[in-house]
């Protein structure tokens, strides 16, 4: 998937789109943030978009530098929005869909409820990102602002990014949107998994390369460059996975999970559901895979929730908000660390900005769980 988005980037369509967007906004530059955030949030909702963002970070840095924003804004409106979309998604195939299958719930069940809180969460994240961007606009004190090495020229730019949007660019944008639509339909109607999603984006990348005149050879080379740009994140993900493998093979993970969730058995239902969120958050640090965590924890939590008289749908919500939101700040999230490295943003600076927003989102998740219990969400 990351290779496909590298092909899209190397066509120059995104850079030209950035230039045209800046020109069209005039003095309303802050409107860039909701537009870009909603794009990446859609990727998070639909396919748990993470590593695919890494090759797009340089384009976002061009955009933010031209508007006078810090690199942290680029990370917040891409990675942050995608993580929030993933955590509150009603259809994410790597989070909620896996958990619902393991809980023996119909796919897409509770979708309307989740969409309501997804909208609230994204509105909160976008508003806070705009507030941060306004407050730090033009600042040079944030780490990575100069290290990013992005041209901070005016909207005209140079090379392919300095021109207006071409007709071929509109075709590329339409193809990208159509691919997202096909992916959503595939997950809803035919239960597509990772292999089908990868194939869809691979085909998209090839078609985009041919449409832009890159030919087969140029498209293949762009894919290789995309793989190369994701190598660092791949190593980080591998190291994070190694932590889990050591714990799993040492029979430590099961002990951790059992110790985390067993005390919840004697608590009231509301307190137990909140405890599940906290336990999922703690477990996600050594188990940085959301899908792996679902497979690891749901077989234990489903019978526990039945014993407590708690809806299985609420159990899935607790997993989503605990593990999914932890993606925003856990250092074992290789994709996050790769994006921060690509943007030149220090992890400490990211944490300083994200923690208050993370706590607000967790509070929203707890409200959602309380409402779900109150209305008897099934």
Asked if the model's pLDDT at residue 148 lies above 90, the reply is no
Q: Rounded CA gap, 52 and 60, in Å?
A: 13
117 pLDDT more than 90: yes
Is 60 exceeded by the pLDDT of residue 147? no
Which pLDDT value is given to residue 157?
A: 37
Closest listed residue to residue 168, CA positions, set 222, 203, 207, 223: 207
Q: Which pLDDT value is given to residue 255?
A: 84
What was the pLDDT predicted at 67? Answer: 87
For residues 195-214, give the mean pLDDT. 89
Q: What is the pTM of this model?
A: 0.78
Higher pLDDT, 368 or 254: 368
- The pLDDT of residue 163 is 66
What is the reported pLDDT for 320? 97
CA torsion through residues 344, 24, 17, 77, sign? positive
Q: What is the pLDDT of residues 317-332, one digit of tens each?
A: 999 999 999 999 998 8
Model confidence at 169: pLDDT above 60: yes
What confidence score (pLDDT) does residue 139 get? 62
pLDDT at 155: 37
Angle at 17 between CA 153 and CA 136, to 5 degrees: 50
Instruction: In whole angstroms, give the CA distance from residue 331 to residue 288.
Output: 9
Residue pLDDT, tens place only, 225-251: 888 877 776 777 777 778 778 877 887
> For the ranges 20-24, 176-180, 235-239, 326-330, which has the lowest average pLDDT?
235-239
**More confident: 56 or 115:** 115
Task: Specify the higher pLDDT residue, 49 or 121.
Answer: 121
19-28, 44-53, 98-107, 203-212: segment of lowest average pLDDT: 19-28
- Confidence band, pLDDT 50/70/90 cuts, at residue 342: confident
Rg of the chain, C-alpha, whole Å: 21
Return the SS3 of 289. Answer: coil
Mean pLDDT computed over every residue of the chain: 86
- If one compares 122 and 237, the residue with the highest pLDDT of the two is 122
pLDDT of 160 over the 70 cut: no
Q: What percent of the chain has pLDDT over 70?
A: 92
Q: What is the mean pLDDT of residues 253-257?
A: 81
If one counts every other C-beta atom within 10 angstroms of the C-beta of residue 265, the result is 10
285 has a pLDDT exceeding 60: yes
Average pLDDT over residues 205-210: 93
- For residue 371, give Cα distances in angstroms to 1, 82, 177, 374, 377: 36, 25, 34, 5, 8
Residue positions counted in the chain: 378
Provide the pLDDT for residue 197: 79
Q: Where are the domains positioned within the chain?
A: 2-375
Q: Which residue has the higher pLDDT, 3 or 102?
A: 102
Q: How far is CA 55 from the centre of its chain?
A: 14
Residue 151 is predicted with a pLDDT of 43
CA 186 to CA 341: how far, in whole Å?
33
pLDDT band of 266, cuts 50, 70, 90 = confident
């Amino acid at each position: 998937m990351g290779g496909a988005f590298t092909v899209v980037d190397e066509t120059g369509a995104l850079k030209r789109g950035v230039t045209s967007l800046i020109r069209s906004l005039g003095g309303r530059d802050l409107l860039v943030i909701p537009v870009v955030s909603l794009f990446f949030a859609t990727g998070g909702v639909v396919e748990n978009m993470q590593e695919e963002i890494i090759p797009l970070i340089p384009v976002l840095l061009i955009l933010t530098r031209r508007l006078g924003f810090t690199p942290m804004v680029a990370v917040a409106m891409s990675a942050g929005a995608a993580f929030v979309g993933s955590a509150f998604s009603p259809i994410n195939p790597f989070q909620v869909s896996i958990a619902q299958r393991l809980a023996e719930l119909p796919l897409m069940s509770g979708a309307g409820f989740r969409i309501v809180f997804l909208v609230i969460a994204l509105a909160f994240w976008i508003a806070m990102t705009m507030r941060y961007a306004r407050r730090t606009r033009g600042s040079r004190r944030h780490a990575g602002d100069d290290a990013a090495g992005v041209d901070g020229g005016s909207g005209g730019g140079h090379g392919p990014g300095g021109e207006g949007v071409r007709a071929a660019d509109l075709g590329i944008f339409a193809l990208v949107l159509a691919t997202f639509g096909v992916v959503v339909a595939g997950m809803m109607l035919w239960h597509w998994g990772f292999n089908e999603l990868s194939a869809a984006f691979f085909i998209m990348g090839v078609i985009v390369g041919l449409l832009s005149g890159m030919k087969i050879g140029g498209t293949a080379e762009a894919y290789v460059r995309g793989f190369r740009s994701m190598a660092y994140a791949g190593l980080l993900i591998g190291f994070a996975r190694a932590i889990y493998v050591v714990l799993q093979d040492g029979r430590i993970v099961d002990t951790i999970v059992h110790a985390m969730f067993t005390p919840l058995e004697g608590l009231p239902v509301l307190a137990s559901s909140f405890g599940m969120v906290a336990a999922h958050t703690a477990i996600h640090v050594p188990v940085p895979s959301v899908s792996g965590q679902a497979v690891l924890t749901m077989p234990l939590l489903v019978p526990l929730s039945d014993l407590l008289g708690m809806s299985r749908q609420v159990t899935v919500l607790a997993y989503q908000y605990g593990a999914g939101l932890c993606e925003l700040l856990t250092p074992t999230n290789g994709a996050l660390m790769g994006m921060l490295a690509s943007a030149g943003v220090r992890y400490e600076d990211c944490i300083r900005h994200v923690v208050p927003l993370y706590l607000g989102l967790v509070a929203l998740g707890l409200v959602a769980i309380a409402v779900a219990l109150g209305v008897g969400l099934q």
